Structure formats: C-alpha cells, structure tokens
C-alpha cells in the first residue's frame, strides 16, 4: 500500500468541500452518477470504435445503501481506471485556471456554483462522507484492480485490489447523522429516489436500486418541449455543462427529411471563467441515434459561439465517425450553419421579447460574439443586429438599429471612437465637436473592437465611421464663426517642424476647446490597434 499526497490545488479544494461551503449537498450523488454514466459511454465507445472486447449487454449503474453501517455505494460496470489513471485523475486537478478560480472561490463563499466550474464532481463526496473508497478495474487490462481511499485530508492511499470486477465502485462512509440537523439521511430510500429523479432522470443507462430502476432514461432532446419541465432541462444542462446555475435560454431543433437530426442547445446565464482561454473545453456533444459519440465537438459550433452548450443527435452518421471525418463532413457543416442561424435568431428574438435577458446575454458573451464579425463575413448582418455598444447617449448600451433611429437630420454615418476605456474615449479631443453639436458617438473599448471595425463597412446602408480617422464630414455648424485670418504660414511652419512626427498639419472644425489633436489617415491603423500589434510582437 502506498500513501500519496494530493496536489496543492486539489488539497485546497477538498478543504472547501470538507468544510462544506455548498448548502445543497444532494448533488454529490448527481456527480457520482454522472461519472458512472461517462464511464459506461466510454466503454461502449471503446468497443464500437477500437474493437475492445467487452461485455456491454447490461451496462448499468447500481446504488446500495446500508443504514446500519452508514455506507452508500455507487457502482458501474463501465470503462474503469488503471492505477496510474486513478492517481492522475482523482489526485490532481489538471484544469487550466484552477489556482485563479480557487482564490475567487474563497472570496465568494456565497456563490458556490463556482465550484461546478472546476468539474471536480468526485470531490463533492466529501461534503457528506468522512471517508471515501474507490475500487476500480480498467476494461481490457490484465491482472488486478486498484483500491483508492481517502478521508479528504492531505493524503490518499492506493493499493492493489485483486478481485475487483471491471468498472468502478465508490463507497461513501457517511458522516454521522446528527452533524447537521437535516430532516433526512442519505440512507433513506425516498431521499435517494428523489435525488435520482430530480438530477439524473435522463441518464441513458438504468440506475438501479435493488430490483427497481429509478430513472426514465428518456433522451431529453427527443421529447417534445411541451412534455419536458424547465427543471428537467436545467438539470440536463448542468449535467453536460458542469455549470451549477440555470441556463439563460433553451433551444430545441429538429430536422426531418434527407438528413435528420435533433439538437438541444443551451445559452448559459454566465460566461465561464475560461471563455477567453485557448485550452478551454468547448464544442457540443455528438450523438448518433441516441448513442453518445463524443464530447467537445468543435465542428458543430464556431468558436465565437463557444459558450453554447448542448447535444446534437444525427441520425445518418456512422457510429465510427472520427474527428477527422467530422471536419469534412458536408452534413455536419450544414448542421453547424443551421445551429448558428438558430442561435443568432434566438438572441434577436430576445431583444424584443425579453430585453433584460438580452442585456445579460450581451454583457456576458458580447465580447466573444463580436469575434464572429471577423470569422464569418456572411453573418455580419445577423451579428450586428444582436450587438450593442456603449454610447455617448446615456449609460445603457445601444443597438445599431436604435442608434440609426436616433440619427440627427442630415447625418449619414454611424460614428464611433475606439479606445481603452469609456473615460478615455469620452475625454478624447476627437469628441469635442461631436459633443458640442449633439452627435451620438459609439464608445468601443473591447480589444476586438479595434479589429472588426476594419472589416465591417456598414450597417443598414450606413457607413461605420471612426471619428479619429481622416477628415470626418461633420455637417457644418451654422452658428459657429469661420476662423479668421490667414493660417497658411502657421500651418506651414508647424508641418516643417513636426515633419518627423506627423504627415500634415491642417485646420480643423472638429475641436472646440482643445488647440490641436492628432488624427490618423483614413487607411492608417488606429493607435490602439498599433499598440495591440506591438504587444503581440508584430
């Protein structure tokens, strides 16, 4: 037997679990069932795709309780783990951004749904157990299995398990009942049934307790929306996303005919902490005729909609389909185009049907969505239609349509100014004349704004125009007197003196209180973009 230490981050997280910061402890069972279900999917897939020899005739999950001994057991006959896998998977958290998230988690004791973002389901067992044993044997391997045990403190032990069957058995030694004055106990029959029904009803393998099957196993995406409760959808969402908060919006799709598929998509209500991290998990789950094929299928949804979670079940694909084939598959590309269209139109509908939800959506995901203006020129219009931007008119963001609606008489173009912050943009000398004459200007401060404004020429027939570039044709203010006198010599003098620094010095109508300002040529890159390129080492 060997005693090993948990990795530092894992130890911290366990601490949080042991001194449970999460009020809903029931979810430990959901997490164990979810892991068991994944393991069963993996075994079926290994047989199907890699030709692994395995008996998959009775894939299932079993729950056993012993009230006397105060134990609760969850067993699966899935893929199992090797000794190395147990140490690596259960002893460490290998996910990006863990340290950062942990510090946030400690600050925010009140928002424990953050825990879910770790995908640390297994550790949640320590909320209810003071000792956890895991016995496992990997399908397709010779020899003995492995036994892991821990009290959730700093260490765990690992040992051989000679007689372990294929699959995984997790045994929880439940904390004494009187520790918290709960009305129920996790050895209560009704409590187990209630938790399974609530959180795991859609799991596609039978969850048994004795001779009884506790879940209906119905694929949620295959059921008519009217027959599924919001709560069922929400639990399914949590199962596939590892998010612990309810989704913002649910999207059902069904296509019949030459190429059949069903899709169930979710728009989360919060951006994940790793939305802008390259190695973050993204993509949808792919099923073929109810059989799970793969997680994180990026082929099904473009990167700029990477926050969308969900399932696509395609009827006509081969069960053996690989990622390489997926990338080229015509049907997959067609499904992807339809999903994009549907997601964008759903958001557009929210704009009028539920402005509050729309505002949440844009606040959380707008920065990512704007990347789509670069990635998908064909979708400029639908993306711009759902975009909103900070503006000099008021504190709330505005859509372009609303901006156009408010345009002053004679105004032909949509004015914007990019910069690093709202205050920087508002205090820019470029702003003076526009403010003075009451022209609304959009305030674009996301890094991606610098880039898309260069590739998107117009919206609704109105040119998008940076007020920092070239000579903006501001309709002349009649009340303002022409500058008097001959400025020729002064301008000539300045141009000569500043020849290293600027291309030209010219008289301008755009300033009211400042004496001078720097503008770029219409074709030059903006100062902020210049800075960004420099930061990227170009």
What is the 3-class SS of 198-237, one letter each residue? Answer: HHHCCCCCCEEECCEECCCCCCHHHCCHHHCCHHHHHHHH
CA atoms within 13 A on the CB side of 267: 25
Integer Cα distance of 254 and 265 in angstroms: 11
Q: 245 labelled as ligand-binding?
A: no
Q: 35 labelled as ligand-binding?
A: yes
Answer for the pair 418, 453: CB distance below 8 angstroms, yes or no.
yes
Beta carbons within 10 angstroms of residue 531's beta carbon: 14
Task: Please name every residue paired with 391 in a beta bridge, in sequence order, or none if there are none.
Answer: 442
Q: DSSP state, 13?
A: H
Distances 125 to 22, 172, 477 between C-alpha atoms, Å: 12, 7, 71
Q: Which is nearer to ligand ADP, 65 or 79 (CB)?
A: 79
Q: 257 labelled as ligand-binding?
A: no
Beta carbons within 10 angstroms of residue 206's beta carbon: 16
**By CB under 6 A, residue 90 contacts ligand ADP:** yes
User: 34-73 mask for Mg ion (x: CB under 5 A)?
Assistant: xx--------------------------------------
Beta carbons within 10 angstroms of residue 151's beta carbon: 16
Q: 119 labelled as ligand-binding?
A: yes
Question: C-beta of 119: minimal distance to ligand ADP in Å?
Answer: 3
**By CB under 6 A, residue 116 contacts ligand ADP:** no
Q: Which is nearer to Mg ion, 21 or 90 (CB)?
A: 90
Q: 122 labelled as ligand-binding?
A: yes
Q: Which is nearer to ligand ADP, 79 or 308 (CB)?
A: 79
Question: C-beta of 38: minimal distance to ligand ADP in Å?
Answer: 6
**By CB under 6 A, residue 79 contacts ligand ADP:** yes
Q: 117 labelled as ligand-binding?
A: yes
Q: Which is nearer to Mg ion, 204 or 495 (CB)?
A: 204
Query: Can you tell me which of 12, 35, 171, 508 binds ligand ADP, judged by CB under 6 A?
Result: 35
Q: Which does 168 bind (CB under 5 to 8 A by kind): ligand ADP, Mg ion, none?
A: ligand ADP
Radius of gyration (C-alpha) of the chain in whole angstroms = 29
Question: C-beta of 296: minimal distance to ligand ADP in Å?
Answer: 12
Integer Cα distance of 56 and 47 in angstroms: 8
Q: Which is nearer to Mg ion, 119 or 470 (CB)?
A: 119
Q: Which is nearer to ligand ADP, 80 or 272 (CB)?
A: 80
Question: C-beta of 306: minimal distance to ligand ADP in Å?
Answer: 18
Q: DSSP state, 260?
A: -
Question: C-beta of 32: minimal distance to ligand ADP in Å?
Answer: 7
Helices assigned H by DSSP within 370-430: 372-375, 380-386, 400-406, 422-426
**By CB under 5 A, residue 121 contacts Mg ion:** yes
Packing angle, helices 330-353 and 355-369, rounded to 10: 140
Integer Cα distance of 504 and 514 in angstroms: 18
Answer for the pair 170, 72: CB distance below 8 angstroms, yes or no.
no
Q: Which is nearer to ligand ADP, 166 or 519 (CB)?
A: 166
**By CB under 5 A, residue 391 contacts Mg ion:** no
> Phi and psi of 249, rounded to 5°?
-150, 145
Binding site for ligand ADP (CB under 6 A): 31, 35-36, 39, 76, 78-81, 89-90, 119-122, 168, 242
- Binding-site entries for ATP: 31, 35, 76, 81, 95-97, 117-122, 168, 323
Q: Which residues bind Mg ion (CB under 5 A)?
A: 34-35, 121
């Amino acid at each position: 037997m060997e005693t090993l230490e948990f990795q530092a981050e894992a130890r911290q997280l366990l601490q949080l679990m042991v001194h449970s910061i999460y009020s809903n402890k029931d979810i430990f069972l959901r997490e164990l069932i979810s892991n068991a279900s994944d393991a069963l999917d993996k075994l079926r897939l290994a047989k199907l795709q890699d030709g692994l020899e395995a008996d998959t005739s009775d894939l299932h999950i079993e729950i056993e309780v012993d009230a006397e001994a105060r134990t609760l057991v969850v067993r699966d006959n899935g893929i199992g783990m090797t000794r190395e896998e147990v140490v690596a998977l259960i002893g460490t958290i290998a996910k990006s951004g863990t340290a950062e998230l942990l510090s946030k988690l400690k600050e925010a004791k009140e928002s424990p749904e953050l825990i879910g973002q770790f995908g640390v389901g297994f550790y949640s067992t320590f909320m209810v157990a003071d000792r956890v044993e895991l016995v496992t044997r990997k399908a397709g391997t010779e020899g003995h299995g492995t036994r892991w045990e821990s009290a959730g403190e700093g260490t765990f032990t690992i040992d051989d398990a000679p007689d372990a069957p294929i699959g995984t058995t997790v045994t929880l030694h439940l904390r004494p009942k009187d520790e918290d004055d709960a009305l129920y106990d996790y050895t209560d029959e009704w409590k187990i049934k209630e938790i399974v029904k609530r959180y795991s009803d859609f799991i596609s393998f039978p969850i048994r307790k004795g001779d009884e099957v506790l879940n209906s196993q119905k694929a949620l995406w295959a059921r008519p929306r009217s027959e599924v409760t919001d709560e069922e959808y929400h639990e399914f969402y949590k199962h596939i996303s590892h998010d612990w908060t309810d989704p913002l919006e649910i999207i059902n799709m069904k296509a019949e005919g030459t190429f059949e598929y069903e899709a169930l998509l979710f728009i989360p209500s919060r951006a994940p902490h790793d939305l802008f991290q390259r190695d973050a998990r993204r993509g949808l789950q792919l099923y073929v005729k109810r059989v799970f094929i793969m997680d994180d299928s990026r082929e099904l949804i473009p990167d700029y909609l990477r926050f969308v979670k969900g399932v696509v079940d395609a009827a006509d694909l081969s069960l053996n389909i690989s990622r390489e084939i997926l990338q080229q598959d015509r049907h997959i590309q067609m499904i992807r185009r339809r999903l994009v269209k549907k997601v964008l139109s759903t958001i557009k509908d929210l704009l009028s049907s539920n402005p509050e939800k729309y505002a949440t959506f844009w606040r959380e995901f707008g920065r990512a969505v704007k990347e789509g203006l670069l990635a998908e020129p064909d979708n400029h219009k639908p993306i711009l239609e759902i975009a909103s931007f900070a503006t000099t008119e008021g504190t709330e963001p505005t859509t372009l349509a609303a901006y156009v609606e408010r345009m002053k008489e004679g105004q032909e173009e949509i004015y914007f100014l990019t910069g690093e912050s709202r205050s920087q943009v508002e205090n820019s000398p470029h702003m003076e004349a526009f403010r003075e004459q009451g022209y609304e200007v959009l305030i674009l401060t996301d890094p991606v704004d610098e880039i898309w404004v260069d590739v998107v020429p117009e919206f609704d027939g109105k040119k998008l125009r940076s007020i920092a570039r070239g000579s903006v044709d501001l309709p002349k203010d009649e009340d303002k007197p022409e500058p008097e006198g001959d400025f020729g010599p002064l301008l000539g003098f300045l141009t000569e003196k500043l020849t290293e620094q600027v291309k030209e010095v010219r008289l301008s109508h755009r300033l009211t209180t400042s004496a001078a300002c720097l503008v770029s040529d219409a074709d030059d890159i903006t100062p902020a973009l210049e800075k960004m390129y420099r930061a990227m080492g170009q």
